[in-house]
């Protein structure tokens, strides 16, 4: 698969109609992918591409002119270095009925690899795990340096299964069953791919991070409003994804899970924050209530 065919597959997942408005938001670092998606979408409907400067941080709002354009589009593909997923701009566009697709940090290789997956299989697997997660009261995750319990009873589903229906927010590549937990207690250890690039331990009590082993990361997080909130539990469901060092792909890898801090509103939670940072846990053992659903990265259901 090449960039052109990957873009065509990405656009087809949204099922654009001739009467719809398709908006591509891109920054200069991703312009080649942006043009490929623009050209593919132009075959189906009226398409506009806006180029903006990188925001400089995941979760920062885009310029007002971009946010306003997103509100009036039917389909929005955000192909940017920094995530627009957990922003009011994306939430407002979704509230107005748009399909919002974000690809923070996407590279050509991840885009081509990710769009070559059979998304019917990704959808089935995501829904299978998501159905069981939705019925669970608690989730227990154990891995090297990790032992954490998460209260998920009654929490909304936030599956990213490749079904890009109107009024939804998704990533591409897709592939995770997720929710915003009510609370969490314990600790987890993962590589910080956002700031320090080091292995870091997070201690968690009553749904908030109370300590971080790395002083630089702790100092940064402690200065950001609501950044200590445990925002997400996600379980990767994409068999074609591989650990590449890029969070966008790593969090979708089958055999991993991830815990995020910061903003949870886009996932059905109640906490708004200017960041949403995911931390990948490799080869976890996971229980939904008393049922073990994964053992050292091997799916059991």
Q: What is the pLDDT of residue 1?
A: 85
Taking the C-alpha atoms of residue 123 and residue 121, their distance in angstroms, rounded to an integer, is 5
Q: What is the pLDDT of residue 225?
A: 96
* Cross-sheet strand order for the sheet of 168-171: 46-51, 21-26, 75-79, 99-102, 168-171
Residues in the chain where the model's pLDDT stays below 50: none
Q: What is the pLDDT of residue 169?
A: 94
Per-residue tokens: 194? 């956002």
Q: What is the pLDDT of residue 259?
A: 98
Taking the C-alpha atoms of residue 112 and residue 244, their distance in angstroms, rounded to an integer, is 14
Nearest residue to 279 via CA among 216, 217, 223, 205: 217
Report the predicted TM-score, pTM, of the whole model to 2 decimal places: 0.91
Where do you find CATH 3.40.640.10 in the chain?
A: 3-114
Say whether domain 3-114 belongs to CATH 3.90.1150.10: no
| DSSP at 160 | B
- What are the C-alpha distances in Å from 103 to residues 84, 173, 185? 9, 8, 31
């Amino acid at each position: 698969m090449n960039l052109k065919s990957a873009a065509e597959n990405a656009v087809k997942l949204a099922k654009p109609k001739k009467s719809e408005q398709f908006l591509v938001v891109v920054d200069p670092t991703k312009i080649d992918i942006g043009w490929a998606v623009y050209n593919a979408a132009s075959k189906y409907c009226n398409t506009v591409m806006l180029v903006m400067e990188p925001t400089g941080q995941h979760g920062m709002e885009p310029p007002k002119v971009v946010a306003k354009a997103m509100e009036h589009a039917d389909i929005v593909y955000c192909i940017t270095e920094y995530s627009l997923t957990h922003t009011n701009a994306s939430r407002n566009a979704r509230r107005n009925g748009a399909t919002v697709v974000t690809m923070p940090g996407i590279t050509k290789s991840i885009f081509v690899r990710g769009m070559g997956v059979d998304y019917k299989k990704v959808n089935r697997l995501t829904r299978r795990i998501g159905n069981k997660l939705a019925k669970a009261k608690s989730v227990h995750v154990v891995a090297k340096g990790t032992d954490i319990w998460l209260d998920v009873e009654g929490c909304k589903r936030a599956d990213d299964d490749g079904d890009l229906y109107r009024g939804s927010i998704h990533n591409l590549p897709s592939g995770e069953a997720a929710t915003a937990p009510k609370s969490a207690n314990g600790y987890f250890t993962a590589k910080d791919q956002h700031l320090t690039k080091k292995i870091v331990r997070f201690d968690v009590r009553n749904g908030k991070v109370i300590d971080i082993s790395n002083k630089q990361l702790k100092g940064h997080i402690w200065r950001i409003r609501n950044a200590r909130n445990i925002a997400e539990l996600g379980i990767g469901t994409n068999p074609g994804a591989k650990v590449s060092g890029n969070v966008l792909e790593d969090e979708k890898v089958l055999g991993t899970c991830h815990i995020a801090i910061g903003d949870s509103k886009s996932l059905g939670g109640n906490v708004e924050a200017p960041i949403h940072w995911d931390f990948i846990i490799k080869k976890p053992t996971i229980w939904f209530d008393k049922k073990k659903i994964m053992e050292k990265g091997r799916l059991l259901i």
